[in-house]
């Protein structure tokens, strides 16, 4: 009896009711699809956890990169303290999926969000949920929300740099905010300081900035109750500057690193900047993300169009790169990497990718192109179903994202 074609499927998922077991990624596929290599995920998880432990730090990888609870749990299971998120809504997603150690890497001003933060320990006494603050206004808002729910907001004073993102711009301003938090009553609990070095132009500038944040952490230490204070830093480009700058930190200061893109790495922005490129003895990261698409048109010599576009793949920090070409025909035919310069992505439209083909190179409609990406954060948000592959392209599981 012939099968009945599906009427609808989630982007990235196979044909509903597909009976192929084990299933190759191209079996019953509706391209494009986004995939992750299990071997790369496992290796990157182990490399980063070993790095933070070797340098005496803790790890709270930034979940906003992928917003996939399954990936966050694998990092926590490997030893991470918890996860970082960018908003209370993201924190709620993490909480609902069982994650109880959360750092919101922003000042929170929405009363509803602050009330949620302030109520967490009443819901689960073992939880630890923190956010940043960089103004007296933020301190007052936190105190008001905490009183409304008879709870407490745990805060870190954010220290920025001139021309950078958020955060106070001087040690004096940091002290003022810390004193406001310490004096706001039991509804606001000062835990330490935080910063973000990723927007700086290089490792030397990042190291100098982190050293300054460390000095602020020491200066406000007398305002932090308890036996230990906290310093949180770390994008994915200059975290070696963090480990250098905090090497001589006080014994009662815990350092919480947040590098999120390290889990999947990439073939562009972070491949060029990873600290492991500067310190290969510390380890290495492997790109885990691929986006698979099919050639749909070869309208003129030297040009091929693939049905992958801005709706499917990141482009804000560099265009994709072609990792493999898989000729049309049998789906399981192995792919081959193109010779450097032979097949180049030159442009993306909403749903089309333009490939420039070197002289003598030809593609055929129906061929499959496997892309590597630049900047993991802006490819995950385009997918709700992401397939995890073994090295033979067998699908191991499909994970969900929650953007």
Asked whether 37 and 266 are in contact (CB, 8 A), the reply is no
Residue with tokens 């919101």, as numbered in its chain? 104
What's the whole-number mean pLDDT along residues 330-336?
75
For residue 170, how far is the Cα from the chain centroid?
Answer: 28
What confidence score (pLDDT) does residue 140 get?
A: 98
pLDDT for residue 18 = 75
Q: What is the dihedral of CA 385, 117, 49, 33, to 10 degrees?
A: 10
pLDDT digits (tens, 9 = 90+) for 310-322: 999 999 999 999 9
pLDDT digits (tens, 9 = 90+) for 15-38: 887 776 789 999 989 999 999 999
Query: Is residue 129 within 8 Å of residue 117, measured between CB atoms?
Result: yes
3-state SS of the chain?
Answer: CCCCCCCCCCCCCCCCCCCCCCCECCCCCCCCEEEEEHHHHHHHHHHHHHHHHHCCCEECCEHHHCCCHHHHHHHHHCCCCCEEECCHHHHHHHHHCCCCEEEEEEECCCHHHHHHHHCHHHHCCCCEEEEEECCHHHHHHHHHHHHHHCCCEEEEEEECCCCCCCCECCHHHHHHHHHHHHCCCCCEEEEEEECCCCCCCCHHHHHHHHHHHHHHHHHCHHHCCCCCEEEEECCCCCHHHHHHHCCCCCCCEEEEECCCCCCCCCCCHHHHHCHHHHCHHHCCCCCCEEEEEEEEEEEECCEEEECCCCCCCCCECECCEEEEEECCCCCCCCCECCCCCCEEEEEECCCCEEEEECCCCCCCCCCEEEEECCCCHHHHCCCCEEEEECCCCEEEEEEECCC
Residue 342 pLDDT exceeds 90: yes
Residue 314: the pLDDT is 98
- Between the alpha carbon of residue 212 and those of residues 164, 218, 239, the distances in Å are 15, 10, 15
Confidence category of residue 328, pLDDT binned at 50, 70, 90: confident
Q: Is the pLDDT of residue 5 over 70?
A: no
CA-to-CA distance for 77 and 81, rounded, in angstroms? Answer: 9
135 versus 234: the higher-pLDDT residue is 135
Residues 107 and 132: beta-carbon distance below 8 Å: yes
Mean pLDDT of 283-296: 98
Instruction: Give the list of residues 6+ apart from residue 164 with CB closer than 8 angstroms, or none.
Output: 196, 199, 200
Report, as an integer, the average pLDDT of 385-395: 96
Spatial contact of 71 and 377, defined as CB atoms under 8 Å apart = no
CA separation for the pair 103, 232 (Å, rounded) = 9
Structurally, at CATH architecture level, domain 1-37+265-403 sits in Beta Barrel (2.40)
Q: What are phi and psi of 354, to 5 degrees?
A: -95, 125
Distance of alpha carbon 94 from alpha carbon 92, whole angstroms: 5
Instruction: State the fold for domain 100-261.
Output: TIM Barrel (3.20.20)
For residue range 73-105, what is the model confidence (pLDDT) as tens digits? 999 999 999 999 999 999 999 999 999 999 999
Beta-bridge partner residues of 158: 194
Nearest partner of 186 among 208, 232, 154, judged by Cα = 154
- Taking the complete model, does pTM exceed 0.75, yes or no? yes
CA pair distance 121, 110, nearest whole angstrom: 19
Report the sign of the C-alpha dihedral through residues 190, 191, 197, 199, in that order. Answer: negative
Confidence of residue 333 (pLDDT cuts 50, 70, 90): confident
Mean predicted confidence (pLDDT) in 224-235: 96
Annotated domain spans of the chain: 1-37+265-403, 100-261
Q: What local confidence, expressed as pLDDT, does residue 14 receive?
A: 85
């Amino acid at each position: 009896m012939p099968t009945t074609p599906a009427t609808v499927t989630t982007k990235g998922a196979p044909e509903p009711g597909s009976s192929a077991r084990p299933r190759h990624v191209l079996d019953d596929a509706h391209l494009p699809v986004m995939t992750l290599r299990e071997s790369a995920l496992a290796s990157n998880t182990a490399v980063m956890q070993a790095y933070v432990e070797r340098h005496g730090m803790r790890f709270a990888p930034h979940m906003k990169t992928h917003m996939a609870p399954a990936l966050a749990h694998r990092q926590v299971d490997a030893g991470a303290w918890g996860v970082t998120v960018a908003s209370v809504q993201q924190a709620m997603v993490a909480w609902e999926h069982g994650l109880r150690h959360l750092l919101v890497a922003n000042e929170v001003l929405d009363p509803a969000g602050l009330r949620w933060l302030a109520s967490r320990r009443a819901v689960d006494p073992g939880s630890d949920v923190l956010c940043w603050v960089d103004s007296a206004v933020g301190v007052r808002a936190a105190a008001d929300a905490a009183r409304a729910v008879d709870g407490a907001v745990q805060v870190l004073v954010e220290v920025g740099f001139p021309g950078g993102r958020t955060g106070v711009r001087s040690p004096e301003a940091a002290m003022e905010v810390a004193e406001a938090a310490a004096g706001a009553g039991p509804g606001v609990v000062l835990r330490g300081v935080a910063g973000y070095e990723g927007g700086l132009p290089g490792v030397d500038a990042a190291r100098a900035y982190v050293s300054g944040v460390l000095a602020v952490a020491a200066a406000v230490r007398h305002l932090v109750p308890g036996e230990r204070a906290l310093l949180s830093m770390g994008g994915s480009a200059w975290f070696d500057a963090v480990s250098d700058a905090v090497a001589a930190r006080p014994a009662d200061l815990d350092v919480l690193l947040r590098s999120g893109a390290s889990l999947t790495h990439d073939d562009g922005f972070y491949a060029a900047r990873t600290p492991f490129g500067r310190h290969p003895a510390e380890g290495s990261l492997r790109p885990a993300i691929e986006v698979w698409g099919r050639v749909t048109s070869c309208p003129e010599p030297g040009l091929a169009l693939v049905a992958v576009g801005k709706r499917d793949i990141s482009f804000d920090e560099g265009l994709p790169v072609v990792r493999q070409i898989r000729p049309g025909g049998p789906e399981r035919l192995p792919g081959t990497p193109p010779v450097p310069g032979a097949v180049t992505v030159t442009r993306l439209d909403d749903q089309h990718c333009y490939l420039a083909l070197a002289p003598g190179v030809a593609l055929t409609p129906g061929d499959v192109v496997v892309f590597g990406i630049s900047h993991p954060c802006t490819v995950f948000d385009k997918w709700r179903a992401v397939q995890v592959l073994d090295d033979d392209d067998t699908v191991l599981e499909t994970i969900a994202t929650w953007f």
